[in-house]
Amino acid sequence: MWVVATAGHVDHGKSTLVRALTGMEPDRWAEERRRGMTIDLGFAWTTLPSGGTLAFVDVPGHERFVPNMLAGVGPVPAALIVVGADEGWMPQSAEHLAALDALGVSHGLLAVTRADLADPAPAMTRARQEIAGTSLGEVEAVAVSAVTGAGLPELRAALDRLVARLPDPARDAPLRLWVDRAFTVRGSGTVVTGTLGGGRLRVGDELELAATDEPVRVRGLHSLGVARTEVDAVARVAVNLRGLARDRVGRGDALLSPGRFGRTDLLDVRLTGDPAADLPATLMLHVGSAAVPARVRPLGPDTVRLRLARPLPLLIGDRALLRDPGRHHVAGGVTVLDVDPPPLRRRGAAAARAGVLAGLDGRPDLAGELRRRRLVRAGQLRRMGVPATASPVVGDWLADPEHWRDLGRRLAEEVTRHAGEHPLAAGVPVDVLRHRLGLPDRVLVTALLRPPLRLRDGLVTAATAGTLPEPVARAVARVRAEYGDRPFQAPETHHLAGLGLGPREIGAAVRAGALLKLAENVVLLPGAPDDAARVLAGLPQPFTLSAARQALGTTRRVAVPLLELLDRRGVTRRLPDDAREVVRPPG
């Protein structure tokens, strides 16, 4: 299926032409049929000569209903521009064309209607000149009369050629269905309709409602009046949603693939149309079927920041338009450059931001986003429309390679600086390093660790750190002098304190390898375990705790934790009767 929207001035025969092509009545309201004027969106479809199906979104032409027109045109890839031969180019012809140009619609066809009432040549010549200067460029034109039927076969053939040129839809893309109608069907509940421009819909799919983030499930699908189990883009679809009240959804909302879209009320865009400096403070942003007031802040000659009255599910590269409803004027089209822009708090920040935006073209760029954001979660990038194909540094965190290397260097510097400022500290707490490096997640700190840095008990230290402050080194030297010839005797706590070795000093000495802490208040010189193994290897095997204590000339307070350390190291083995034997004598 293909979908084409009509466009053109009021009373130039858009609906009449659709009726003649399809045999269907596009005007849904009795008021529309009574007045002979389209007020809201209409829908009809036909089979083309090639056998393909073409659906029309018929839009109103009156200036009062331009928002309705834009809701229908927004998600549609091509347009049928209708100009009456008897009136020629008119104001709404120009505004509709400006809207198509602003939205970047590049495929279209011109139908000059009412060829039975006037010579179509002048109207056709003028219309083609106007269209040629827009995103549509040179278009094929057909003169037609819906009353006499003249030109209808040629128009059908031209429509066939038009849809053959349309690009293939991205059927594997995340789904974003802009809602253009919502109503209730007795016995079924809430139904919404829209133009499926990309992706695939299936009965049973769970989706997200953009306005509220609430999950909704597809209960049923219809396309062109026929029930379906699955619909591929591009297509007109009606979606029956399970368990959703009618007042929870309306035109301008969207159904989304779960987790694939963010919602933003702040975005930076590139403007084509009026100069940014000439824009009023508030305009209406039209995108998809949504129309949202936007406050405008110019940044550069053609870049602006928009703050929306409500969040929308937008992606980098989306096309939209800005319109001044008071003047019935399309201010210009916009290309979304950033859906998560940085705040502008400092003096000169807007000018600096304009410089950054000058280098963006609205195409998702992973390397560029990493360079600008430095650290970002992969899911956040995907919700911005950027393929997150890089390898994470940890979890789902992606990093700019140069920034990541710089963080590693700074981390080592911070650990060294902290050790110099706090020589007795066991290391730097991870959260302190996270704060100093400005990291959003503590797991990034641990991911940055490289030898000789290491993490232990939530503290980061350098494995090579071993230099003790001079007072501590002198105290350890006195312990070595006093206990060097009696290595299995542990100094009492009060004696260590008298030497200047309190808990923090002992901790620093233990980390430096200058002392060995066997247990609370049990400190030996670091060579004691090897010396003990040599003594115990000379005992008759196996041996008891009492025999070990006597051989080592120490107390039970020292012997018990010393033997347990040798057990853990695999030097001794404890037997079922609590005796031990040496299984790995010292080399």
pLDDT digits (tens, 9 = 90+) for 199-213: 999 999 999 999 999
Structure tokens at 102: 């602003």
Cis omega (within 30 of 0) for bond into 330: no
Of the pLDDT bands very low, low, confident and very high (cuts 50, 70, 90), residue 26 is low
Tokens 């083609």 appear where? 128
Contact call for residues 536 and 548 (beta carbons, < 8 A): yes
What is residue 460's three-state secondary structure?
A: strand
Q: Which residue has the higher pLDDT, 542 or 45?
A: 542
* CATH code for residues 264-363: 2.40.30.10
- In this prediction, residue 38 carries a pLDDT of 40
What CATH fold (topology level) applies to the domain 470-582?
Arc Repressor Mutant, subunit A (1.10.10)
Of the pLDDT bands very low, low, confident and very high (cuts 50, 70, 90), residue 40 is low
Pairing of strands 303-312, 290-298: antiparallel
What average pLDDT does range 296-325 have in this prediction?
Answer: 95
Q: Which amino acid is at 30?
A: A
Q: Is the confidence at residue 93, as pLDDT, over 70?
A: yes
Q: How many residues does the chain have?
A: 587
Structure tokens at 104: 């970047």
Of the pLDDT bands very low, low, confident and very high (cuts 50, 70, 90), residue 533 is very high
- In this prediction, residue 33 carries a pLDDT of 39
- In this prediction, residue 28 carries a pLDDT of 45
**214 Cβ contact list (under 8 Å, min separation 6):** 208, 244, 248
- In this prediction, residue 71 carries a pLDDT of 67
For 195-212, b/e burial (b = at least 16 CB within 10 A) is bbbbbbbebebebbbbbe
- In this prediction, residue 465 carries a pLDDT of 52
Structure tokens at 24: 């269907």
Whole-number CA gyration radius for the chain: 38
Is 470-582 in the same CATH topology as 176-256? Answer: no
For 486-503, b/e burial (b = at least 16 CB within 10 A) is ebbbbbebeebeebebee
Contact call for residues 572 and 563 (beta carbons, < 8 A): yes
Residue 123 has phi, psi (to 5 degrees) of -65, -40
d(CA 363, CA 237): 28
d(CA 25, CA 8): 18
What average pLDDT does range 454-458 have in this prediction?
Answer: 85
Of the pLDDT bands very low, low, confident and very high (cuts 50, 70, 90), residue 35 is very low
pLDDT 10s digits, 97-147 = 988 898 889 999 999 999 999 999 999 999 999 999 999 999 999 999 999
Q: Is the confidence at residue 34, as pLDDT, over 50?
A: no
d(CA 267, CA 176): 19
Q: Which residue has the higher pLDDT, 242 or 37?
A: 242
> What percentage of residues in the chain have a pLDDT greater than 70?
94
Q: Is the confidence at residue 574, as pLDDT, over 70?
A: yes
Instruction: Write down the H helix ranges in 66-214.
Output: 66-73, 91-102, 120-132, 152-164
Q: Which residue has the higher pLDDT, 73 or 299?
A: 299
- In this prediction, residue 466 carries a pLDDT of 55
What is residue 575's three-state secondary structure?
A: coil
pLDDT 10s digits, 407-449 = 999 999 998 888 777 777 778 899 999 999 999 999 999 999 9
- In this prediction, residue 67 carries a pLDDT of 65
Q: What is the mean pLDDT of the chain?
A: 89
pLDDT 10s digits, 215-273 = 999 999 999 889 999 999 888 899 999 988 888 999 899 999 999 999 999 999 999 99
Encode 402-428 in three state secondary structure.
HHHHHHHHHHHHHHHHHHHHCCCCCCE
**From the candidate CATH numbers 3.40.50.300, 3.90.180.10, 1.10.287.610, 3.30.230.70, the one assigned to the domain spanning 2-165:** 3.40.50.300
What average pLDDT does range 182-208 have in this prediction?
Answer: 90
Q: Where are the domains of the chain?
A: 2-165, 176-256, 264-363, 364-465, 470-582
Range in 83-97, 288-302, 450-464, 505-519 with the lowest mean pLDDT:
450-464
Q: Is the confidence at residue 31, as pLDDT, over 70?
A: no
CA torsion sign for 447, 450, 455, 460 is negative
Contact call for residues 56 and 5 (beta carbons, < 8 A): yes
**Sheet strands (E) in 174-302:** 176-178, 181-185, 189-196, 200-202, 206-209, 215-223, 226-228, 230-232, 235-242, 254-256, 264-273, 282-287, 290-298
Residue 286 has phi, psi (to 5 degrees) of -110, 120
- pTM as predicted: 0.79
Neighbours of 379 (CB within 10 A): 13
What CATH fold (topology level) applies to the domain 176-256?
Elongation Factor Tu (Ef-tu); domain 3 (2.40.30)
Cis omega (within 30 of 0) for bond into 491: no
In order, the DSSP letters of 219-250 are: EEEEETTEEESEEESSEEEEEEEET--GGG--
Q: Which residue has the higher pLDDT, 392 or 289?
A: 392
Which range, 18-32, 369-383, 412-426, 495-509, is most confident?
369-383
What average pLDDT does range 460-488 have in this prediction?
Answer: 82
Q: Is the confidence at residue 464, as pLDDT, over 60?
A: no
